[in-house]
Structure 1
Amino acid sequence: MDWLTIALLLLFGLAFLVVEIIFIPGTTVVGLVGFGLLAVGIWFSYRDYGSATGHILLSASAVLVGALVYIGLRPRNLDKMALTQQHHGHVLDVRQADVAPGAVGRTLSALRPAGTALFADDRREVTTRGEFVDADSEVLVIGIEHNRIVVRQTA
């Protein structure tokens, strides 16, 4: 095999490994193709040019791949693909409701039987036991059932 073909196999193998390790880590297919091209190029060099040339190319390829892995696994490069920020947000969980039974609020919409009520500047979705309540009426929280705030109209 011509030395140019072997050089191109090694060059493309290293290029595929660069793409795998640095630019798109985790795809595996590109890395396997690069490793295969390197292995074929080294095998051809052993076969056609003898063990001395094969050893030189094998050593050079191992050093270059080791350097690529070192560069690709540096923390600065890992930050591009790793989750480094924590999200401290939360959702409103009615099981730990800030609206306790006995709280009084005012409806913002008509409850037919569900709607929206305002409790101390907090809008909450509420429901009744089946009765209809007009908008802008005062309601009392009678309980929290599963994920619902149950209210009734105050007298």
Structure 2
Amino acid sequence: MGMDIFIIALLIFIGLVMVILEVFFLPGITIAGISAVLFFVGAVFYAFMQLGEFAGYITIAVSVIVTIVGIVIFIRSRSLDRMALKTTIDSVAPTLVSDQIKVGDEGVTLSRLNPMGSVLINDVTVEARTREDFIDEDTPVVVEKVDRTTVIVQKKENEK
């Protein structure tokens, strides 16, 4: 009798591990999900066959309770915090170019333009693009064309 309870408990435990794997690590219907169902069914079947009808129903109830409690404990544990992605995105979508920037305005590159990068023109930081191969950082530039979301620049004449 003690070995039968141990086998049932082991099958339920393995089924719980498979459910946690399926829900949190392997989304979709995978081997872990199918295995979880098989382990739970195996535990219930074993209980019905070896210990009787009452033990089978108890095994069903225990399986449901253990699964719910196991998932709740796993969610509340620090395990998910350690695995969670904590990267913040500090970039922004391109915005419309300020009306302050006109063709012929001068500025300086804040990053290397290869062919795109950031430029400071009239105290406004904007995305800029060059038709040349690249322009190094901290290079004086002149606005050649203004698009809706980017500015096309070239090196200042005396810098070429």
TM-score, length basis structure 2? 0.54
* CA–CA distance in structure 2, aligned partners of residues 99 and 52 of structure 1: 81
CA distance in 1, matches of 2:39, 2:24: 18
Aligned to 1:40: 42
How many percent identity over aligned positions? 20
User: Structure 1: how far apart are the matches of 2:95 and 2:65?
Assistant: 59
Contact (CA 8 Å) 1:106, 1:119: kept in 2 or not? yes
Within the candidate set 61, 64, 86, 2:66 is matched to 64
CA RMSD of aligned residues (A): 4.7
* Residue of 55, 66, 72 corresponding to 1:53: 55
For residues 38-86 of structure 1, the C-alpha deviation after alignment (integer angstroms, 9 at most, x for no partner) is 2122123213331122123223333322220211222744434545564
CA distance in 2, matches of 1:74, 1:10: 23
Change over 3 Å in CA distance of 1:106–1:15 after alignment to 2: closer
Going from structure 1 to structure 2, the CA distance change for 1:98 and 1:23 (only over 3 Å counts) comes to farther
The aligned counterpart of 2:136 is none
* 1:27 paired residue number: 26
2:101 is aligned to: 100
* Alignment correspondent of 1:142: 144
The question of whether the paired residues in 2 share the 8 Å contact of 1:105 and 1:138 is answered with yes
- The TM-score with structure 1 as length reference comes to 0.56
Bigger Rg over Cα: 1
| Structure 1: stretches of 5+ with no match in the other structure | 108-113, 129-136
